[in-house]
Amino acid sequence: MIPVRGFQGAKVAVLGLGRSGLSAARALRAGGAVPLCWDDNPQARAAAEAEGFACVGLTGPGAFDGIATLIVSPGIPHLYPMPNPVVAAALEAGVPVDNDIGLFFRSLATADWDMIDTLPRVVAVTGSNGKSTTAALIDHILQEAGRPVQLAGNIGRGVLDLDPPGEGAVVVLELSSYQTDLARALTPDVAVFTNLSPDHLDRHAGLGGYFAAKRRLFAEGGPDRAVIGVDEVEGRFLAGQLTEGAADDRVIRVSSGQKLTGPGWQVFARKGFLSEYRKGRQIGSIDLRGIAGLPGAHNHQNACAAYAACRALGLAPKLIEAALHSYPGLPHRSQVIAEAGGVTYVNDSKATNVDSAAKALGAFKRIRWICGGLEKEGGLGALLGQTGAVAKAYVIGREAAAFAMQLDVEAEVCSTMAVAVARAMEQAEPGDTVLLAPAAASFDQYDSFERRGEDFAAEVEMRLRG
C-alpha cells in the first residue's frame, strides 16, 4: 500500500466504494487522514463499514463542512453529462475534487528516495484503443529484462494498492480518460498516447472534451519523454505541442502503416516490420509477423508504443525483441481461444467501439464475425468499408435486428451468444476465423466485456467437446 500524504488529521470524503474507492480509503487512513465514505449501493457501504470506515451522507446542509477534499471513483460523473449530486455539493462548498490517481502521484515519492541511487520511474499509458495491451506489454518486457515492475490503474491493481517502489523500479499505469480528466496531480516520467477515436463522448461532452481529458496527462504532467501515436490528427497536434523542434527527441513519434521521417526519434511498423529511427538513421528492426500474441496492424502499433517506452527507459532493442516473442497476449483482446478443423476462434470482447472492432477485422483474412450489443453514440458508420474480410456477421444483443441493418455485409440476427456461436461454427470453413469483436458495449446482456468474452469462450469450448 502507498499511504496518502498531505492529509494527516484531515477529514477526506470518498465517493464510490468499488475497487479504487476502498483502496483510496485504506491508503488515506494509512496516511493519517479520516475517511468519510459514501456509495449509493447498501452492500458497498456495508463492506466499507466492515473494515471500520464511517459511511455518511454527503449531500445535506453542511455536509462538506470541515472536509479537506473529495475523492471520486472513475465511474462517477463529475462534470458531464451532469455532476453527481455529491460532486455538485462539494463544488458548491468550494471543496477540491480529486481521484486515486491524483493521490498516487502526490504520495509516491518519500524521504526514503534520498537513499536510492536509481529512482523509481512511472510510465503512464492512455489513448482510445490498445492502452491495456500496450501497458501489459511494457510490463512484460520489463519483467523479462529483470527490472522490478508493477502494473496498475485501469488494469491490474488499484494504484494505491501497489507496494512502494524501490531502487530502479518501474510502475506502469494504464489510465482511462475518466482517470486523467480529474486527477489533480499527473507527473509520469514517460507518458504514452496510443491513438484517439470517438468514445465516452457523453461523459466528455464531445470529441474535443474527450481529447482534452487525454491531453492532460502530457500538458499537466510534463513527462521527461512522451511517446505519441501520430496516425490521427490529434496525435500529430499533441506531438507538435510538446516538441521544441523536429530534432527534439523528448517526443518519440509512433505509427502503424506509415514510414516516419525526420531528424527526431520515430518508431513505426510497415508490412509487419517494426523500425526505429533516430537522427535520421535506423538503429533497430523487428519482424512482428510471427508473434502470436500481437496479431494485426493495431497490435503492431501497440508493439511500437511499448518498444518506444522501453527504449526511453534505456532497454536495448534485442532485449525488447526477445520479450515481444514471449508475450502471451491479454484475455479478451485478440485472444486465440481455440483452433480446430482449420478454424481459429478469437475472443476480442474488448472491442467495444467501432474503431477497435475495425482494427480487429483488419487482422484476419476470412472472418465469421460475432458482433452487437449496446450501441454507442455515433452509430456504426465508421465500419462501412472496413468489412472486406467478413464472410458473414452473426449479430447478438437486445437490438440485434437494428444493429444488423446498419452493416454492409450479410448478417444473421442471432440475439444470443449461444445461437451466434452455433451458427458461425456450423458455417465456418477451414481457413476461417470466428471472431468476437462486438463494436458495442456489453451492458444490454452482460455486466462486463469480460463476462461476454467468457461466455463466447465457454460456448466454443462446449461445442468443440461435442
The residue length of the chain stands at 466
- Residues 313/123, Cβ–Cβ less than 8 Å: yes
Per-residue cell: 299: 497490435
pLDDT value at position 378?
75
d(CA 259, CA 274): 10
Q: Tens of pLDDT along 222-271?
A: 899 999 999 999 999 999 999 998 889 999 999 998 999 999 999 999 99
The model's pLDDT over 260-315, given as tens digits with 9 standing for 90+, comes to 999 999 999 999 999 999 999 999 999 998 887 888 888 899 999 999 999 999 99
Is the pLDDT reported for residue 43 higher than 90? yes
Higher local confidence (pLDDT), 28 or 448: 28
Residues at the binding site for ATP are: 127-133
Mean local confidence (pLDDT), 75-87: 93
SS3 165: coil
Which tops the pLDDT comparison, 125 or 18? 125
pLDDT at 355: 86
Residue of 396 and 333 predicted with greater confidence: 396
Share of the chain above pLDDT 90, in %: 81
Percent share of the chain, pLDDT over 70: 100
Confidence of residue 80 (pLDDT cuts 50, 70, 90): very high
Asked if 441 and 351 count as a contact pair (C-beta separation under 8 A), the reply is no
> Which residues line the annotated binding site?
127-133
Q: What is the pTM of this model?
A: 0.84
Query: Given this model, what pLDDT does residue 191 score?
Result: 98
Cβ atoms of 329 and 293 within 8 Å: the answer is: yes
Domains along the sequence of the chain with CATH: 11-98 (3.40.50.720), 111-325 (3.40.1190.10), 335-465 (3.90.190.20)
Secondary structure class of 76 (helix, strand, coil): coil
What pLDDT is stored for residue 81 in this prediction? 92
> At residue 56, does pLDDT exceed 80?
yes
pLDDT value for 201: 82
By DSSP bridging, strand 411-415 and strand 390-396 are: parallel
Confidence (pLDDT) at 359: 86
Contact in structure between 11 and 32 (CB atoms under 8 Å):
no
pLDDT in tens, 88-112: 999 999 999 999 999 999 999 888 8
